[in-house]
Structure 1
Amino acid sequence: MEVFKTIKSLQQSLSLKDDHLTLGLVPTMGALHEGHLSIVRRAKEENNLVVVSIFVNPTQFDKKEDLINYPSTIDADLEALESLGCDYVFTPTVEEVYQGDTRSEAFSFDGLDSVMEGKHRQGHFDGVATIVKKLFQITKPDKAYFGEKDYQQLLIIKKMVDLESIPIVIVPVQIYREIDGLAMSSRNTRLTENQRNAAPEIYQTLLKSKKIFNNNDLDSVKSFVKNEFIQNKDLQLEYFEVADTESLRIATEILPHKKYRGFIAVFAGSIRLIDNIALN
């Protein structure tokens, strides 16, 4: 496994690979857990070579304290990636990536960015698309892999690829969960014992909402989820939305032949957790 800190050194090494070998990219911000590693394994299965980027991207944080508090476990990350047979790791500095101009590009996502995470985190998706576009330009992979936990982000990246006419296949990877159902996240390590014990309620509520969705009307589903968190002292609901799987338009009624997902954001103290589920 080769580790690179500069764009030039990474590109020089990538240029030496045979043209017929496929390259998969897994963008991460480090603090790797089994969820990340499941994505790397998928990329290894489907490509001859895999590059993993570890870069905490400042332009996608709407709150400075979240950027400051983002965990860094670089030694453990590299050890885990080496054990999986990762070929290249890219660990640049902010200066290396942004060259002194730490600003986001402005994109038009046709409303994909105006709901849920986009509504609650201003500028977040412009920051995400900016760094992912840069990583695509640097590495020129055949495929790039993204977890469905950040489902809205996944659709945003697909849209950016279409807008920019980037010749790359975006591969979604299923949410990787703890045994108790909590979606794996680097933020989980910051939960107190009480918060960690309470957090599986998020997924349990999503599972129950799926059953109600298939038997009742939309208002019943939303009321159920809201009521589940009213009495919970450890978890505070920020939002629960039912949206069209492809357009992310918030559902006002359930239409036949449409696919829907339930999206949720919950605070455990100051720590924000998100999850989602296919409803039909």
Structure 2
Amino acid sequence: MVIKSKESLHKTLEIHKNKEKTIGLVPTMGALHDGHLALIDFAYKFCDVVVVSIFVNPTQFNNSSDLEKYPRHVEKDAAFLKKHNFKTLVFTPNVEEVYADGLKSESYNFGSIVDHMEGEFRAGHFDGVGSVLKRLFAIVSPDKAFFGEKDYQQLIAVKTLVNITGQKVEIIGCPTNRNEFGLAQSSRNFRLSDTQLKEGELIFEALSQAKSMFDDYSILDIEREVNKKFQQSTLKLEYFSIVKTKDLIPTTTKEPKEAYRGFIAAFLGDVRLIDNMALN
């Protein structure tokens, strides 16, 4: 079922809520792929009803060109979801439905978790993400919301957001879904040629190498090896960072009993790709 207005969504969800059904939300910006389907299937393990929102959020793009190029195929996406699971509710609001008080980005104090990586290279991105999700959570009133670990920094920011806003929604992270080459599934992948999709496996290879080296080599050694791999490739590395998982602050030293993750952003042509992996 495709629902375009808040009013219609509320009427539909009220029926389920009166039956004490558990409501899940999978927020997306469309251009759906197998990674989204894995996310939806994961949501159904926890919820009776799953709402998939399709909304390209203007406030989280710091690059207007990126916003313009972002693929929009709402009808195709809706058919894709219906074929996969006809029970899924598809919410496709316009800007006025979501930003009823005017299109604007609010400011949030996320702390150190947004100071580096995406926060450093995409100014205002997380405030934009927080602004739209605060509104979507208010519109849908889900019990649980689901986000892929490919955007791990965003996942932690969203968990922080609900602590800031006090909204009663449980945020659940889902494992990254990858293609046959190990490249994380992303809507941006639609802009890559078959050759580029194969070249993109370098990102997964670099993270896997960092993981295999982590116990026996210094962080500086690992960073040198990753940088060397990209210098010899067609990809342009924007950043590679090893961070403490608890605060997402890059570090060059390892401490006992701390958890670490590696984060990468790289350009393949004009397409920017990100990924991350737990290292220990």
Query: Fold-level match, TM-score > 0.5?
Result: yes
For the superposition of Structure 1 and Structure 2, which TM-score range results when normalised by the shorter chain?
Answer: over 0.9
1:250 aligns with 2:231: no
Deviation string, structure 1 residues 36-85 (Cα, Å, up to 9, x no partner): 01000111121111111000000000101111111122222112222323
Distance 1:193 1:175 in 2: 21
Partner residue of 2:73?
73
CA drift of 1:19 comes to 4.5
Partner residue of 2:149?
148
CA drift of 1:90 comes to 0.7
1:97 aligns with 2:132: no
1:195 aligns with 2:207: no
Partner residue of 1:33?
33
Change over 3 Å in CA distance of 1:89–1:73 after alignment to 2 = same
Partner residue of 1:236?
236
Alpha carbons 1:51, 1:86 under 8 Å: kept:
no
Q: Secondary structure at the match of 1:112?
A: helix
Letter in 2 for 1:10: L
1:268 aligns with 2:272: no
Partner residue of 1:226?
227
- Name which of structure 1's ranges 79-88 and 146-155 shifts more when overlaid on structure 2: 79-88
Distance 2:196 2:36 in 1: 22
Q: Secondary structure at the match of 1:52?
A: strand
What TM-score do the two structures reach when normalised by structure 2? Answer: 0.96
Deviation string, structure 1 residues 5-29 (Cα, Å, up to 9, x no partner): 1111111221222252100000000
Deviation string, structure 1 residues 148-180 (Cα, Å, up to 9, x no partner): 000000000000011111111111000000011
- Name which of structure 1's ranges 270-279 and 80-89 shifts more when overlaid on structure 2: 80-89
Change over 3 Å in CA distance of 1:133–1:77 after alignment to 2 = same
Letter in 1 for 2:272: R
Instruction: Please list every run of at least 4 consecutive aligned residues from structure 1 whose deviation after the TM superposition is greater than 4 angstroms.
Output: none
What TM-score do the two structures reach when normalised by structure 1? Answer: 0.96
Q: Secondary structure at the match of 1:276?
A: strand
Alpha carbons 2:53, 2:90 under 8 Å: kept:
yes
Alpha carbons 1:195, 1:235 under 8 Å: kept:
no
Change over 3 Å in CA distance of 1:156–1:84 after alignment to 2 = same
Partner residue of 1:14?
13
Distance 2:256 2:86 in 1: 45
Distance 2:212 2:5 in 1: 50
Partner residue of 1:51?
51
Alpha carbons 1:54, 1:90 under 8 Å: kept:
yes
Distance 1:211 1:71 in 2: 36
Q: Secondary structure at the match of 1:111?
A: helix
Instruction: Extract unaligned runs of 5+ from structure 2.
Output: none
Letter in 1 for 2:174: V
Number of corresponding residues: 278
When the two chains are superposed, the root-mean-square deviation of aligned CA atoms in Å is 1.2
Distance 1:207 1:276 in 2: 10
Distance 1:74 1:117 in 2: 27
